[in-house]
Amino acid sequence: MYFELIISLIPATFAG
């Protein structure tokens, strides 16, 4: 569950 959220936030971190 958490992995899915993290994986989805990974690209957001780079975009930030």
- pLDDT tens-digit map of 1-16: 789 988 988 887 887 7
* pLDDT of amino acid 12: 78
Residue type, 5: L
Q: What is the pTM of this model?
A: 0.14
| Maximal CA-CA distance, the chain | 23
The pLDDT of residue 15: 76
Q: In the prediction, which pLDDT does 11 show?
A: 85
Q: What pLDDT is recorded for position 14?
A: 82
User: What one-character DSSP code corresponds to residue 16?
Assistant: -
Query: Which residue in the block uniquely carries the two structure tokens 């994986």?
Result: 7
